[in-house]
Amino acid sequence: MKAQRSRLSTTGAPPLHTAELSRLTIPNRIFAAVYASLVLTLLYHHAVTLASLLFQYNSTTTTTKISSLFISTALLISDVVFAFMWATSQSFRMRPLYRKEFPEKYLNNYKGKKYSEEFPAIDVFVCTADPYKEPPMNVVNTALSVMAFDYPEEKVSIYVSDDGGSALTLFAFMEAAKFAVHWLPFCRENDVVERTPEAYFSANYHSLSPETQRIKVIYSISITYYIHTT
């Protein structure tokens, strides 16, 4: 069983992704129904056994009756717990989907102001608390990589939450704002894929062109040097 669907564009451009329903959907549901009936039967058996032990009037000794009650109760509780764990794991098996993305369609059809309204506005929160446990360099690189998203600029809002109120983190972002003036245009003009400055400059697969060297020097001076010497 296959069902394919895609998010249609209101402007007639090709879809950016498709969703295909897994062939295992129906077998998963049949198995879940059979398994659930067996689990309910087992729980019913435990309940009947426990009730018969509680209300039986025979020559069974008190010690034997107490141990039987304890064992039956323990089995009932354990099976209830396992049944709950199994039930909570079935949600993603009821309708599994396989998605396929088409980034090349975005590059060819969705760039430019014509299709900017196709994309929803997104808010990105970058949270930090302790500059010693979460170095400002890491937080700054995270924010810069988000700012360099290949996404309409007016649709992206970035918020930085510093619970520790660190002056060092504040200073790092002041320097990062200056560096972003150079970094963001560089990413867009050169179609940079690795948009985290630290990871980009530490990699050796890109060409060290004069422009790349210039941006690297600015990064080293404006952020790395000042943060490491503060």
Strands (E), 62-114: 97-101
Name which of 1, 20, 25 is nearest 100 in CA terms: 20
Query: What gap in Å lies between CA 208 and CA 64, rounded to an integer?
Result: 82
List, as residue ranges, the binding site for UDP-alpha-D-glucose.
133-134, 163
| Angstrom distance (rounded) from CA 147 to CA 138 | 14
Annotated binding site: 133-134, 163
Contacts of 217 (CB under 8 A, 6+ apart): none
Question: Which helix or strand (DSSP H or E) is residue 5 part of?
Answer: strand 4-6
Length of the chain (residues):
230
Q: Rounded to an integer, what distance in angstroms lies between the CA atom of residue 139 and that of residue 171?
A: 12
